[in-house]
Structure 1
Amino acid sequence: MATAVELRESFRDLPKEDRQNNPDFSIRVWRGLSWLERAENAESDDLEGRFISGWIAFNALYGRLDEKQRPWGDREAMGTFLAQVWRLDHHRHIGKLLQKRQLRILRIIEDKYLCNRFWVSGGSPTKQIKRELRDSLAWIGTPKASNVLHLLFERLYVMRNQVMHGASTKGSKLNRRAMRECGTLLLEMIQSLLEVMIEHGVGEDWGNVCFPPDGPDTKR
């Protein structure tokens, strides 16, 4: 898996003119790399810090503005971004990672505390989780593996909400395993997503980047 330092070198190897002609792409990648590097360098016991930095890196990649300069909703922007990167992944970096980390992914999907339905409806999500596990096992390694990618990030998004909204105690023993597994997998996924973007995304439309450095009318 390529590190932030290695990915930054790959980004710099892209033709300068191409990078300058697509600031929405370049700003995303540069911001994402900066936070990915911070996540990679987090202390081994700073699980929350690693996850938070990782999610900021991911948010830097998927966040976008509509034609009225208003941010898209997280789930819509995230889903659109993941679908776009999946389409560009001609070398199957992401698909291979899903296969390689299959057991970890299934454990995350199986965790009822990372299932949004558990918190929203107050009911038991057991049947839903069993169905999702069965489907994921059937999909990994096939063209339908994109469904597993989206499902995985739905689970990671629940962890994100717990941490970002102060619904989790720092260092709590209750979610240590989940926090460790989510953080580790999130970083690996971001590395793969960035690898695909740098290899194939410089000519793509990624939407208007949020908070461009020079303001809404001038991007560098």
Structure 2
Amino acid sequence: MPTAAELKTRHRGIRDAQPEALRVRIHRAISWLARAEQETGDPDARFLFLWIAFNAAYASEFGFEHSERDQARMFVAQLLAIDPGHRLHHVLYDQFTGPIRTLVENRFVFEPFWKALREHDSSERWAEQFAGSKRVAMKALMAQETAVLLSIVLDRLHVLRNQLVHGGATWNGAANRAQVGDAARIMGALVPTVILLMVEGGAADFGEIAFPLLAG
């Protein structure tokens, strides 16, 4: 897995030929990846810095019209189109099948569970949705359907991200240690791979960024 320093060196060699929006995306993502790499003993912080790096890579100027999840799904589709070496596939299926199964089977990172709790919905519809989501994920895992599985994994990780960012969890809390640790490891492999694909992606267009770099 390439480090932030290695990615920065590779990017430096081709960035002058890139559109500004793409160049800024990659530069910002690498900067946050470098920060995440410093967090060797704090998985909460490591996961959050990695998520910021991922966000820097995919967020577009349409971020206020489309949900983050929609943006992430579109971004994944673009990445898979420029991934002839199936790097994302290998991250999921060669390294993290165990943690992914655990993540998918954890109701505490399934948004409908929390929605039902907030709305005092006792219908158990969330449980039916959860069972269906697990079936789809397991089918995708067995059939090695990268786009489907990665979309589900990112949905689960997005819930965990929300819990941490919005103060819905205790820092270094015992209740979520397993999922935070797994999330940091998964993102720690996904994010460098994503950035590498963007560096090597040639003319791939990821759109304009929501917050362009301005002078003054």
**Given the two structures, how large is their TM-score scaled by the length of structure 2?**
0.88
Q: Which amino acid aligns with 2:191?
A: I
Paired position in structure 2 for 1:106: 101
**Is 49-58 or 1-10 further displaced after alignment?**
1-10
Q: Distance in 2 between matches of 1:60 and 1:142?
A: 31
User: Cα gap change, 1:27/1:178 in structure 2, threshold over 3 Å: closer, same or farther?
Assistant: same
Deviation at 1:189, TM superposition (A): 0.8
Contact preservation (8 Å) 1:109, 1:152: yes
2:213 aligned with 1:213:
yes
Paired position in structure 2 for 1:84: 78
Specify which of 5, 26, 29 is matched with residue 29 of structure 1. Answer: 26
Deviation at 1:144, TM superposition (A): 2.6
**Is 182-191 or 117-126 further displaced after alignment?**
117-126
Q: Which amino acid aligns with 1:158?
A: V
Contact preservation (8 Å) 1:95, 1:141: no
Q: Deviations over 1:70-101 (max 9, x none)?
A: 56431221111111111111110001111011
Paired position in structure 2 for 1:150: 151
Deviation at 1:138, TM superposition (A): 3.0
2:178 aligned with 1:177:
yes
2:48 aligned with 1:52:
yes
Paired position in structure 1 for 2:190: 189
Contact preservation (8 Å) 1:63, 1:71: no
Q: Which amino acid aligns with 1:117?
A: P
The RMSD of aligned alpha carbons is 2.0
Q: Which runs of 5+ in 1 are unaligned?
A: 216-220
Q: Deviations over 1:116-164 (max 9, x none)?
A: 1110123474444444333333323756321000000000000010011
Q: Which runs of 5+ in 2 are unaligned?
A: 118-123
Paired position in structure 1 for 2:133: 132
Paired position in structure 2 for 1:167: 168
User: Cα gap change, 1:70/1:126 in structure 2, threshold over 3 Å: closer, same or farther?
Assistant: closer
**Given the two structures, how large is their TM-score scaled by the length of structure 1?**
0.87
Contact preservation (8 Å) 1:99, 1:141: no
Deviation at 1:211, TM superposition (A): 1.5
Q: Which amino acid aligns with 2:17?
A: D
Give percent identity, aligned residues only: 26
Q: Distance in 2 between matches of 1:104 and 1:71?
A: 33
Contact preservation (8 Å) 1:109, 1:133: yes
- Aligned residues, how many? 208
Q: Distance in 2 between matches of 1:94 and 1:126?
A: 30
Q: Distance in 2 between matches of 1:26 and 1:17?
A: 8
